Copies of this chain bind each other. A is one copy, B any other.
Amino acid sequence: MGRSRCADVVLRRDVAVIGAGHSVFGERNLSPKALFTEAFFEATESVDNGFDAEAIGEAYVGSLGFGGGQLGNLSSFVVAEGPAKNIPARRVENACASSGFAFRDAYLAVKSGLVDVALAGGVERMSGLTREHQRFWLGVSGDTLWERLAGVTFAGVYGLMAARHMHEYGTTKEQLARVAVKNHRFGAKNPKAQFQKEVTLEQCVNAPRVADPLGVYDCCSTTDGATVVLLARADVAKKFTDTPVWVVGSGAATDTLATHDRESLTRLDATAKAAKSAFQQSGLEPKQVNVAEVHDCFTIAELLALEDLGFCAKGQGGRFTEDGQSDRGGAVTVNPSGGLKAKGHPLGATGTSQVAEIYHQLRGEVPPERQAPDAEFGLAHNVGGSGATCTVHLFAR
């Protein structure tokens, strides 16, 4: 269906992704610089026709700064001292949407005409945090005054969203669990994922509670990891590869940090606004998207994303999932990488991890069990906090 409608749309193919690198996610016991370097070299070596790091004109590094002694000037730490000395680089921090925004800024830089090739990436080390780190930093991306200091964790906030979604729309724990079952099935086939094993519906529903109605399998894990993607202007991109993946829409938005300041607990306005902006820019419609990586930090977050991105009507995320519409072979293949849920969530590295997956999906180079069929249009959706910041990007092959 996507393809028959494609003829109606004139897509602007002026900025492309030309390479992607992705560290293994998990407890890596490596420094942020080592993690970033792993992703960096995989990205530069992935470029079809060869690539010299000196071609990079600008670098955007998403990170909250966890896990390394170098809090300030992190971008210099991982870029200038690494393989790309003197490239203008900066850290972009928007909580768990850090590298979604890093990607948007790299896209704008290339689109400006001043930069031929830009790097967007992210890095986080979440294992081995000291007690001081945990006390001081975990939860810093949600609202501090009204939520964190009152003891509401992220699982708590999303638990409230899930309970409200159940109340308003009749969503069930089984429907939530189906998100976890699907994403772990995909993750089991992703050698970069932290959790490479399947889970059953029964395991999920009966798992220990974290923040009712969310059990342990409804929550993603934070982990170590780094990701890097390379963007280039159209004329430059064609030198590097015959099969670039085009960025055809970029949307972003913010919202209040505290959920009580929002109109609804079952809708992320930042997602809806970012999606609207990206779809308008591209001319595409949600039903044309074949494959999407969405921000499933909790299973309820994937349901909200399905609705707020326009893949299904508000309140229908549970049913859409139950009917297999978000699975391979359904209306849109959602989180074929395993998502945050199975792949793990290295905060600042997640946004460009999603872009990397869409890049490989649209090039048709993903193992068959995870490959979205006939993938022509892709979407990446990255959320910071409980919806305070969001980016949505649309891609075409």
Contact = CB atoms under 8 A, between A and B. Distances in A.
Interface of A: 58, 64-65, 68-77, 79-81, 85-95, 98, 101, 104-105, 108-109, 111-115, 132, 136-137, 140-145, 148-149, 250-257, 261, 269-270, 273-274, 281, 384-385, 388-389, 391
Contacts of A77: 257
Contact of A141 (B73, B143, B149, B252): B73
Contacts of A109: 105, 108, 112
A273 B87 CA distance: 10
Contacts of A81: 256-257, 261
Please give me the 9 A-B residue pairs with the lowest Cβ-Cβ distance, nearest first: A72-B141, A88-B252, A80-B254, A76-B388, A111-B112, A69-B144, A72-B140, A71-B140, A73-B95
Contacts of A144: 68-70
A346 to B, nearest CB: 14
Contacts of A137: 71
Nearest to A148: B69
29 contacts: A65-B93, A68-B144, A69-B148, A70-B143, A72-B140, A72-B141, A73-B94, A73-B384, A73-B385, A73-B388, A73-B389, A75-B93, A75-B389, A76-B255, A76-B385, A77-B257, A80-B256, A81-B257, A85-B255, A85-B256, A86-B255, A88-B251, A88-B253, A90-B101, A90-B105, A92-B93, A105-B105, A105-B108, A108-B112
A274 B95 CA distance: 29
A76 B94 contact: yes
Given A75-B254, A94-B76, A254-B80, A132 B140 contact: no
Given A93-B72, A94-B73, A114-B108, A86 B270 contact: yes
Nearest to A118: B108
B388 A80 contact: yes
A388 B109 CA distance: 21
A389 B254 contact: no
A58 to B, nearest CB: 8
Nearest to A135: B132
Contacts of A250: 114
Given A76-B256, A112-B112, 19 more contacts: A69-B145, A70-B257, A72-B140, A73-B141, A73-B142, A73-B385, A76-B254, A76-B385, A79-B254, A80-B256, A80-B257, A81-B256, A85-B256, A86-B269, A88-B252, A89-B389, A105-B109, A111-B113, A136-B136
A218 to B, nearest CB: 22
Contacts of A113: 111-112
A161 B247 CA distance: 45
A362 B362 CA distance: 50
Contact of A149 (B69, B74, B385): B69
A252 B74 CA distance: 16
A365 B73 CA distance: 35
Nearest to A273: B86
Given A90-B389, A91-B94, A112-B111, A257 B73 contact: yes
A90 B86 contact: no
A80 B112 contact: no
Contacts of A114: 108, 111, 250, 281
Contacts of A141: 71-73
